[in-house]
Amino acid sequence: MDARYLAIEGPPGVGKAVLAERLGQRLDASLVLDDVENPFAADRKARTTGAAFQAQLFHLLARHRQQETLRQGDLFAQVTVCDYLFDKDRIFAYLTLDDNELFIYQRLYELLARDLPTPDVVVYLQCPTDRLRKRLRERDRRAAARRGDEEDIGELNDAFNHFFFHYTSAPLLVVETSSLDLDWQDEDVEDLLRQVEHMQQGTQYYVPRQR
């Protein structure tokens, strides 16, 4: 494929990591996952004063360190699949930080983002809020409860949709995932790759076939 660096994005519960892993296997790609444990996450959920700012900065710096590794390496030696887009960090910042914190955050973000690599294609996994809530409830039955995710998912989903509606930094493939199995079967992965291979500049919308 011509696209050597793919970034997968979407709100919680939409299956980013699973798709990234499936694409990584299919393309024999280098896989970058946004799975760094944030030591301030618990305090942020408890709404401790200043915790949202601390958690946001920790995520920003951890993701920047990963992206710097990509920039210093040879992105053309192997396909790279990342299960997040560095730019999306601002979505959470604008939702959780106050004006003073946001002022500091934005200045730091601009410095860090300046020289990072831009994906060849961004895949945005889109899903209606009611469907996301159902998926989060199903996920929480298999893991520790994350009530904060479910309670805030409507506002967060709206913020993701708004962000990617205006996104122009790289070719963008918007995938409507309501009818998809989050395990991403082989046929679904192949269909998605066919869409990626024919991507041009701008935004393209893709509704997978129901099986």
Q: Topology of domain 5-206, per CATH?
A: Rossmann fold (3.40.50)
- The full set of domain ranges for the chain reads 5-206
Tell me the mean pLDDT per 10 residues along the chain, length 211.
87 91 92 86 78 94 89 70 94 94 96 92 95 82 46 88 95 92 86 91 87 59
How far are the Cα atoms of 23, 50, 198, 208 from residue 191, in angstroms, in the given order?
Answer: 12, 44, 11, 8
Task: Strands of 99-191 (E only): list them.
Answer: 121-126, 172-176
Stated pTM of the model: 0.88
